Protein backbone atom coordinates (compact mmCIF):
# COMPACT_ATOMS: atom_id res chain seq x y z
CA UNK A 1 0.00 0.00 0.00
CA UNK A 2 2.82 2.40 0.82
CA UNK A 3 4.46 1.72 -2.54
CA UNK A 4 1.20 2.41 -4.37
CA UNK A 5 0.76 5.60 -2.35
CA UNK A 6 4.30 6.79 -3.08
CA UNK A 7 3.73 6.12 -6.77
CA UNK A 8 0.60 8.28 -6.60
CA UNK A 9 -1.71 5.40 -7.46
CA UNK A 10 -3.99 5.80 -4.45
CA UNK A 11 -4.95 9.40 -5.12
CA UNK A 12 -8.33 10.27 -6.60
CA UNK A 13 -6.62 12.24 -9.36
CA UNK A 14 -4.90 9.08 -10.63
CA UNK A 15 -7.98 6.89 -10.22
CA UNK A 16 -8.93 7.22 -13.87
CA UNK A 17 -5.70 5.41 -14.77
CA UNK A 18 -6.81 2.12 -13.22
CA UNK A 19 -8.02 -0.54 -15.61
CA UNK A 20 -11.10 -2.35 -14.38
CA UNK A 21 -11.43 -6.08 -14.92
CA UNK A 22 -14.26 -7.19 -17.13
CA UNK A 23 -16.67 -9.26 -15.10
CA UNK A 24 -16.63 -12.83 -16.34
CA UNK A 25 -17.18 -16.30 -14.96
CA UNK A 26 -13.42 -16.92 -15.00
CA UNK A 27 -12.63 -13.74 -13.02
CA UNK A 28 -15.32 -14.52 -10.44
CA UNK A 29 -14.10 -18.12 -10.13
CA UNK A 30 -10.48 -17.03 -9.68
CA UNK A 31 -11.45 -14.43 -7.06
CA UNK A 32 -13.39 -17.06 -5.12
CA UNK A 33 -10.39 -19.39 -5.34
CA UNK A 34 -8.10 -16.65 -4.08
CA UNK A 35 -10.40 -15.90 -1.14
CA UNK A 36 -10.61 -19.62 -0.30
CA UNK A 37 -6.84 -20.01 0.05
CA UNK A 38 -6.11 -21.11 3.60
CA UNK A 39 -2.36 -21.00 3.43
CA UNK A 40 -1.01 -17.48 3.68
CA UNK A 41 2.41 -16.62 4.92
CA UNK A 42 2.37 -14.02 7.67
CA UNK A 43 5.11 -12.09 9.38
CA UNK A 44 5.10 -9.82 12.39
CA UNK A 45 7.39 -6.85 12.59
CA UNK A 46 7.88 -4.00 15.01
CA UNK A 47 8.49 -0.40 14.07
CA UNK A 48 9.88 1.54 17.01
CA UNK A 49 10.20 5.30 17.19
CA UNK A 50 13.42 6.59 18.74
CA UNK A 51 13.42 10.31 19.41
CA UNK A 52 16.59 12.33 19.13
CA UNK A 53 18.67 11.90 22.27
CA UNK A 54 16.96 8.71 23.40
CA UNK A 55 19.58 6.08 24.08
CA UNK A 56 18.27 3.80 26.81
CA UNK A 57 15.76 1.00 26.40
CA UNK A 58 13.27 2.33 28.96
CA UNK A 59 12.91 5.77 27.40
CA UNK A 60 12.67 4.34 23.88
CA UNK A 61 10.02 1.77 24.80
CA UNK A 62 8.01 4.32 26.80
CA UNK A 63 7.24 6.39 23.68
CA UNK A 64 3.50 6.36 23.03
CA UNK A 65 3.72 8.36 19.81
CA UNK A 66 6.31 9.45 17.30
CA UNK A 67 7.04 12.39 15.06
CA UNK A 68 4.53 13.38 12.36
CA UNK A 69 6.77 11.79 9.70
CA UNK A 70 6.94 8.56 11.71
CA UNK A 71 3.17 8.48 12.25
CA UNK A 72 2.60 9.06 8.51
CA UNK A 73 5.04 6.26 7.68
CA UNK A 74 3.31 3.81 10.04
CA UNK A 75 -0.12 4.81 8.70
CA UNK A 76 1.12 4.05 5.20
CA UNK A 77 2.04 0.50 6.15
CA UNK A 78 -1.61 -0.46 6.30
- Write out pLDDT tens, residues 20-45: 778 899 988 988 888 888 877 788 88
Q: Does residue 58 register a pLDDT over 90?
A: yes
Write the CB contacts of 10 (distance below 8 Å, at least 6 apart in sequence).
1, 4
**Would you say 29 and 46 are in contact if contact means Cβ atoms under 8 Å apart?**
no
User: Above 90 in pLDDT, residue 60?
Assistant: yes
Range of the domain at 9: 2-77
| pLDDT score recorded for residue 53 | 94
> With a threshold of 0.85, does the pTM exceed it?
no
| Widest distance between CA atoms in the chain | 59
Domain count, the chain: 1
Amino acid sequence: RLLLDQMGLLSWEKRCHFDLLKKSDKVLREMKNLDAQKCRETHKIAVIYIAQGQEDKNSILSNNMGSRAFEDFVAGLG
